[in-house]
Amino acid sequence: MAEEIRIRKKINRRGDDGYKIVSVRMQESLVSRLDDLSAKTNRSRNELINLLLTSALDIVKIEE
């Protein structure tokens, strides 16, 4: 029989799920609009912000 069993501790690294936490200041009116959209679509505010930012980044044009 083996004398001991060795198990390494799992290292929980922040952000391993591909996401990072970002803090953003927003006007109350914008947060209210997000909350309204959240209620209508049954999606979280976080999910909506990610969807909307992804769409905006895909269509943004930089002017020289």
Closest CA to 44 of 53, 52, 32, 34: 34
How many structural domains comprise the chain? Answer: 1
The verdict on residue 34 lying in a domain is yes
The verdict on residue 22 lying in a domain is no
Q: Which residues contact 41 (CB under 8 A, 6 or more apart)?
A: 48
The verdict on residue 21 lying in a domain is no
**Residue-number span of the structural domain to which 37 is assigned:** 28-59
Task: State pLDDT tens for residues 2-50.
Answer: 687 676 777 767 667 778 889 999 999 999 999 999 999 999 999 999 9
The verdict on residue 7 lying in a domain is no
**Prediction pTM value:** 0.70
Q: Identify the residue whose tokens are 């909307």.
A: 52
Q: Classify residue 5 as left (phi > 0), alpha (psi -120 to 50) or beta.
A: beta
Q: What would the two tokens of residue 5 be? A: 């069993």
Instruction: Return d(Cα 2, Cα 35) in angstroms, integer.
Output: 58
pLDDT at 57 over 80: yes
Q: Identify the residue whose tokens are 């209508």.
A: 40
